[in-house]
Each structure stands twice: as C-alpha cells, then as structure tokens.
Amino acid sequence: GGGPNNHIGNRHFRSLVQDFQPIYLPLRRKDKPLMARSVVLIVRNRGGRFLTKSKASGEYYEVGDEKAEAKASQALREGMQ
C-alpha cells in the first residue's frame, strides 16, 4: 500500500522539506514563498517533477509552478512524516 507516498521522488521531496523546515518556520511571511520556490527549483534541478493524475485519462501530467509552489508551501508549513 501507500501508493504515491512511497514513490522515491515523493520520499526525496519529504526529505528536502524536512531539511528546509527549521529555516522556513521562523521566516517572515513575505519571505516564505521564496523558500517554497527554492524547494521546487531544487526538485526540478534534480530531475524531479510535480505531477497529478488526470481523472479523465488516468495519465500523469506536470502541474506547473504555481501548484508546485503551493504544494511545497503546504509541506513546509505542515511537515510531512
């Protein structure tokens, strides 16, 4: 079980988020989006992608910068076990 959570890319993402959290959490509100953008850029520079599955076709596609940064922000805020 576990599905996408066990995918190697998602494990790398969670590990990266854990590394950045101690820096992210005390940042001022206006500086936090830059940190989320940095996480997205690091993932992409390492060959990673931010994907979602189409309900219609069942195929995966890249979500784009805005959604990727929102996902990174959420992960940095909430923490991911």
Residue pLDDT tens, the chain, 81 long:
567 888 899 999 999 999 999 999 999 999 999 999 999 999 999 999 999 999 999 999 999 999 999 999 999 999 654
- For residue 80, the model assigns a pLDDT of 54
CA distance 9 to 33: 22
- Provide the whole-model pTM: 0.88
Contact at 8 Å (CB) between 75 and 17?
A: yes
pLDDT of 31 reads: 96
Inter-residue contact 40 to 17 (CB < 8 Å) = no
Q: With contact defined as beta carbons under 8 Å apart, do 8 and 14 qualify?
A: no
